[in-house]
Amino acid sequence: MPTAPLPANPDAGAGPQHVAIIMDGNGRWAKARGLPRVAGHRRGADAVRRVVRGAGELGIPVLTLFAFSTENWTRPADEVADLMGLLRHYLRSELDELRKNGARLRVIGKREGLAADIVRDIAEAEGTTASNTRIDVNICINYGARDEILRATRRLAQRVAAGEITSDSIDQASFESELLTAGLPDPDLLIRTSGEQRISNFLLWQCAYSELVFVDTLWPDFGKDHLEHAIVEFRRRERRYGGIGK
């Protein structure tokens, strides 16, 4: 049975407008099958395709996926190379699929540290999909929230030193405007797969009031039905934002 699109308005019991996912468990998926970790990452890329399509069908306006953290550089060099190779492949091979899904792709994270050809492919993919309006797909690559917050702080300090702003004028809105997610709504729902229950330096500022859903499914097995389940769980929650609720 086709699923009705989610309502556009995040009233109580509706939404979410923005779903963020920590895609975890590729290595364990491969290990359980006696396969090299890269096989898990490959299947993880297939799951990205499924979930982007599923999120579009469910009417989710913004989807943000954590693909590679600033800490993931500490993995063995061959695994990092495999992940960068898959990223290259994804950026080149998924443009058609993204277009078909009406997806606007943005890559969130530090460009420094990424190979020059990947930086070019990112710009190309972002440019080619820029006018798509059905769903915003953000992929976090070389992203770390502490790093992001430090850079925003540094940038604001520089603007104070240059006399452009006063320190007293710094507020939540001006701070947010220096984050890599400037202009995006905060995630309403944060999903982490693979049974781990931690944030691992993802969107620390932006997830202040996100509803957290942890699922045991390993990322390569995750699909539209899992996403729907997480959304059902999200809609059961009462968001209070420090108030006393209904």
List of residues contacting Mg ion (CB under 5 A): 24
> Residues of 126-138 as b/e, b for ≥16 C-beta within 10 angstroms?
eeebeebebbbbb
**Alpha-carbon span 226 to 220, nearest angstrom:** 12
Q: Which amino acid is at 132?
A: N
Minimum distance, C-beta of residue 111 to Mg ion, in the bound complex (Å): 23
- Note whether 24 binds ligand IPE by CB under 6 A: yes
Among ligand IPE, Mg ion, none, partner that 200 touches (CB below 5 to 8 angstroms by kind):
ligand IPE
- Note whether 147 binds ligand IPE by CB under 6 A: no
> Cis bond leading into 16, ω under 30°?
yes
- Note whether 25 binds ligand IPE by CB under 6 A: yes
**Alpha-carbon span 211 to 239, nearest angstrom:** 8
Q: Which of 120, 146, 198, 240 binds ligand IPE (CB under 6 A)?
A: 198
**Alpha-carbon span 104 to 129, nearest angstrom:** 5
Known catalytic residue: 72? Answer: yes
Among Mg ion, ligand IPE, none, partner that 61 touches (CB below 5 to 8 angstroms by kind):
none
Known catalytic residue: 188? Answer: no
**Footprint of ligand IPE on 29-68 (CB under 6 A):** 66-68
Q: Which structure tokens are listed for 171? A: 């507020």
**Footprint of ligand IPE on 168-197 (CB under 6 A):** 194, 196
Quick one: CA torsion of 222, 226, 228, 229, rounded to 10 degrees?
-160
Nearer to Mg ion, 69 or 101 (CB): 69
- Note whether 138 binds ligand IPE by CB under 6 A: no
Nearest C-alpha neighbor of 189 from the set 219, 218, 227, 151: 227
Nearer to ligand IPE, 26 or 138 (CB): 26
- Note whether 222 binds ligand IPE by CB under 6 A: no
Residues 6+ apart with CB under 8 A from 68: 83, 87, 109, 140, 141, 142, 143
Nearer to ligand IPE, 120 or 198 (CB): 198
What's the chain's Rg over C-alpha atoms?
A: 18
- Note whether 26 binds ligand IPE by CB under 6 A: yes
Backbone angles phi, psi at 48, to 5 degrees: -60, -45
Nearer to ligand IPE, 175 or 214 (CB): 214
**Alpha-carbon span 31 to 33, nearest angstrom:** 5
Nearer to Mg ion, 132 or 200 (CB): 200
- Residues at the site binding ligand IPE, with contacts judged by CB under 6 A: 22-28, 66-69, 72, 83, 194, 196, 198, 200, 219
Catalytic residue numbers, as ranges? 24, 72
